[in-house]
Amino acid sequence: MKRRIVAVGAALLVLVGCAGTTASGGPRSPAVSSPSGGSGPTVETTSRSVSGPWRAWAATLSSQEAHGSCGTTAHQVVCATDSGGFVGRSRADGRITWTVPAGGHGKSAGLVVDAADERAVTGVAGVLRAADLRTGAQAWTQQLPTGRTYLALGAAEGVVYALEASDPLTHSPVLDAVRAADGTPLWHRTVAWSTGEPLAAFRGRVYTADGTRVTARDARTGDTVAAGPTGVECPHLVTGGHYLVCTGSPFYAGDTFPPMRRLDPATLRPLPTPRNTADNPVRGVISDDGVLVLYEAGAEDTSAGDWNAYDLENGRKLWSTYATEADATVAGGRFVTFTPVNDRTTRGRVITIDLHAGPHGTGTAAPRMSAAYLQTRGGEHPVVLAPGGDTGHVVVMARTHGSLRSLPLP
């Protein structure tokens, strides 16, 4: 059985829904106060189930949700607040079905939603906290020593990975591995890591990148099993499915950029990789079947660029389309993003493009656009979330005026 870990800003895998939920993804019965599985106080939770399949809806976010992160499963939307709490929302109408409040203060390390293990996990300041997606109750907490804070999160195959440090600029970060089900610590290792780089985990390994090279560790023990060879630099790591691709840094200054390289996940040695552009790679997504769609900004005018699609398995470029930088994901075999903000005719829409046919596809493979919505405007700094499964929907999170909108996948 394949498992899907939904990580905000991270890789997409195959989704397995949460067992034991109502049709809306809310709990079967009202949640009650529940002790944490680690250190931490008893927390009161509230719940309200709303039945029904995925539908189109719009909902306003609280300021705490808007400043946090949101994720999705096939059964619900989950948001982590900037205080370290959680809010579960119905897939049927977007209303709140359960909450796990918290009173933390500090920078958030993000959110991972592990549908297979029925956990949502977030880290704010020095507290790692998990919610039970089935019951809507707090599952466990982990508290770091005073002065240390969580920096980034990842998850795969029943394990949550959390990077923590007292000061990442002067002290080497530590990678903690804990069991998703109950927060039991498994191992911790000092690692080399560059701020902003993803934590990638799949097939029994976890990968970290320090802006120069990638290191692979055994997911069970934390022992190093492979490291990028000397001379193969990795300024920025793009990951998705079971693929690792090194590109130039989004912050690179200059007219020429490092070559794009696909890495062998076992040895971390470079594999043949297509690349025939001179623009600056900024960010990308990779589908399960190995299509990398990379946003590359113009070398001189960085306000616009192109989404370029590459077939990693067959070593060729597939297609290209003009864009202004935007969030993106993969859903239903299609690339999902937003229309360019400077296109007066089509701006403010979600657009989907067949991963292999590209913008010139025809028939069922032709590009498709949603209606124009407030939440999809560039000034709202929208993020697109894919529930996966057969929901046929995507969720747009707008940050300027905090809101969520569920809409049918175009």
Q: Please name the residue that has the structure tokens 């993003």.
A: 337
User: Which parts of the chain sit beneath pLDDT 70?
Assistant: 1-51, 168-170, 250-256, 276-278
In the chain, % helix, strand, coil (3-state, to 5) comes to 5, 40, 55
Residue 248 tokens read as: 């130039």
DSSP 175-204: EEEEETTT--EEEEEE----TT---EEETT
**Pick from 38, 5, 18: which is nearest to 129 by CA?**
38
**Pick from 374, 398, 331, 406: which is nearest to 50 by CA?**
406
* Per-residue pLDDT tens over the stretch 23-74: 333 443 333 333 333 434 334 444 455 568 999 999 999 999 999 999 999 9
Whether this prediction's pTM lies above 0.95 is answered by no
How far, in Å, CA of 341 to CA of 325, rounded?
Answer: 9
Give residue 288's pLDDT: 94
Give residue 301's pLDDT: 75
Residue 341 tokens read as: 């903000």
Residue 300, CA distances (Å) to 254, 297, 305, 324 in order = 9, 8, 10, 14
Dihedral pair phi/psi, residue 212, rounded to 5°: -125, -50
Strand partners, 233: none
Give residue 298's pLDDT: 80
